[in-house]
Structure 1
Amino acid sequence: MIEVFAVLLVTALASSLLGVFLVLKGQAMTTDAISHTILLGIVIAFFITNDLRSPLLIIGAAVIGLITVYLIELVTASGLMKQDAAIGIVFTALFAASVILVSRYADNVHLDIDIVLMGQVLFAPLNRIELLGISLPYALVQLTIVFIINILFVLIFYKELKVTSFDPVYAAAAGISTTFIYYILMTLVSVTAVTAFDAVGSILVISFFVAPAITAYLVTKRLSHMIWLTLITAAFNSLLGCSFGYFTDISISGSVASVSLVTFLAVFFFNKNGWIRKTLKTRSMLRKI
Structure 2
Amino acid sequence: MSSTFAIILTGILVAAACASLGCFLILRRMAMLADAISHAILPGLVAGYFIAQGPSLLAGFFGAALAGLITVGLVELLKNTQRVGGESAIGIVFPAMFALGTFLVSKYYADVHLDADAVLYGNIEFVGFDHWYLGETDLGPQSLWIMGGLCLINLIFISVFYKELKLATFDAGLAATLGFSPILIHYGLMAVVSITTVGAFTAVGAILVVALMIVPAATAYLLTDRLPWMIGLAIAAGAIAAVAGFGLAFMLNGSVAGAIATITGVEFGLALLFSPKQGLVARARRLARQRIQFAADTLLVHLLQHEGSPEAAHESTIGHLQSELKWNNKFAQRVLDLAQRRSLVRCQGQQLELTTSGRERSQQVLQLGRV
Regarding TM over 0.5, the answer is: yes
Q: Which has the higher contact order (CA 8 A, sep 6+)?
A: 1
Deviations 1:198-221 (A, max 9, x none): 322111111111111111111111
1:168 and 2:172 correspond: yes
Aligned position for 2:115: 110
Percent identity, please: 36
Over the aligned positions, Cα root-mean-square deviation in angstroms equals 2.1
Within 5 A, what are the aligned runs for 1:257-268?
Answer: 257-268=261-272
| Residues 115-143 of structure 1: CA deviation (Å, up to 9, x unaligned) | 94xx6311222221136944411121111
- For residues 54 and 187 of structure 2, what CA distance do their matches in structure 1 show? 28
Name the residue aligned to 1:121: 124
Query: 2:12 aligned with 1:9, yes or no?
Result: yes
Asked if the contact 1:120–1:251 (Cα under 8 Å) also holds between the matched residues in 2, the reply is no
CA distance in 1, matches of 2:53, 2:251: 37
Residue of structure 1 equivalent to 2:225:
221
Residue 83, structure 1, aligned to residue 83, structure 2: no
Name the counterpart of 2:155.
Answer: 151
Choose which of 202, 206, 228 in structure 1 pairs with 2:206: 202
Secondary structure at the counterpart of residue 55 of structure 1: helix
Task: Find the partner of 1:57 among 50, 55, 60.
Answer: 60
Shift of 1:238: 0.6
Q: Any conservation in 1 of the 2:215–2:264 contact (CA below 8 Å)? A: yes
Unaligned runs of at least 5 residues, structure 1: none
Mean CA deviation greater in 11-20 or 102-111: 102-111
SS in 1 for 2:116: coil
Q: Secondary structure at the match of 1:26?
A: coil
d(CA) in 2 for partners of 1:244, 1:234? 15
Contact 1:10 1:143 (8 Å CA) reproduced? yes
* Deviates most, 68-77 or 45-54: 45-54
8 Å Cα contact 2:48/2:56 also seen in 1: no
Whether 1:25 aligns to 2:28 is yes
Residue 67 of structure 1 corresponds to which residue in structure 2?
Answer: 70
Q: Max radius of gyration: which structure? A: 2
Answer with 277-286 or 152-161: which moved more: 277-286
Match of 1:278 in 2: 283
Aligned residues: 286
* Structure 2 residue ranges without an equivalent (≥5): 296-371
Q: Which whole-Å deviations, capped at 9, do the CAs of 1:167-221 have from their partners, x for residues lacking one?
A: 1110011110111111111111111111111322111111111111111111111
Report the counterpart of residue 324 of structure 2 in structure 1.
none
1:252 positional shift: 0.9
What is aligned with 2:258?
254
Q: 1:58 to 1:184 in 2, by over 3 A?
A: farther
Matched residue type, 2:102: V
Q: Secondary structure at the match of 1:175?
A: coil
Aligned to 1:239: 243
- Return the alpha-carbon distance in structure 2 between the equivalents of residues 11 and 91 of structure 1: 23
The AA in structure 2 aligned to 1:229 is L
SS at match of 2:225: coil
**Deviations along 1:218-270, whole A, 9 cap, x unmatched?**
11111111111111111101100111112211111111111000001101101
